[in-house]
Amino acid sequence: MFGRRKKTAAQDEASTGGFFEDEDTFDNSSSAGGDDALGTATAARDETVGEQADPDLGPFDLTELDEDRDTLAQTRLDLGSVLVPLPAGGQLQVEMNQAGAPQAVHVVTAHGRITIAAYAAPKSPGQWREVAADLATSLRSDQSAVSMETGPWGRELHGVTSNADLRFIGVDGYRWMVRCVLAGPSGAVANDSPLVQIARDVLAQTVVDRGTEPHPVRTPLPVVLPAALTAQLAAAQQQQAEQAEQARTAPQEAPPQPSTSAAPANQTTPTEGPRRGSSGSAMQQLGG
């Protein structure tokens, strides 16, 4: 597995050299139900995550790894605060905010969409537990069905909305929290589904760079696009702008003139100006 922690560097562990060549080591058992269905075992697992978790199971802190950033970026997409491995066949969608800066990067697979983001957190764990409770309350207020299930890192939130099925996976680290959001059609985010397995594989090899700058708790850590992805995005936006300009300046077909009568000399015929194109989507899809 990529990204060994420094404290386990002395172990004799061979790298597989490929993302999907790692053996499946996850326990996919689940316990659906209300928040109380998890019991004290899951609550204890949440609070001790990072202490009792498999040291070879990420997300990893960049400062804990033997490899430098450039080496890690050879097998992952470097987004500044997170370095995320891409599954085979995955495509990227970049979501921009109103200021035109990258807000989120989604990985689109044949089974659904995966979004991994890092947030500022206190030194002590427990933020994910609070965030999961807030998410459950919000989903229920929207009349969505919500259940808590157990995954490799503890509690996972499963929501069924009118538009999509959702699963939220959270992991607490030192001064950071990673949240992985899965979205897909009905049944796509079931505990044993291909989308969930892919997302867990991705999350297990994700690297977090918290940085040293102060951030308020729960603030998203900055997303920085690689130069190549920025160039692709700029080219796509330029192409959209050119197509919109061509549509705006294209000559309009003249309407047929009446054959039996003409408009009075003192009456002008109104002409329709160019229609304003719809605003461009904030989602720029790029081939992965």
pLDDT tens readout for residues 56-91: 789 999 999 999 999 999 999 999 999 999 999 999
> Rounded to the nearest 10 degrees, how much is the dihedral formed by the CA atoms of 174, 177, 178, 183?
160
The pLDDT of residue 229 is 84
Contacts of 238 (CB under 8 A, 6+ apart): none
pTM summary value: 0.70
The pLDDT of residue 5 is 56
Give Cα 90 to chain centroid, integer Å: 12
**Using an 8 Å Cβ cutoff, are 193 and 94 in contact?**
no
Measured between alpha carbons, how far is residue 43 from residues 40, 109, 249 in Å? 5, 32, 62
Residues of the chain scoring pLDDT < 70: 1-55, 252-288
The pLDDT of residue 34 is 42
The pLDDT of residue 230 is 85
The Cα–Cα gap between 84 and 207 comes to: 7
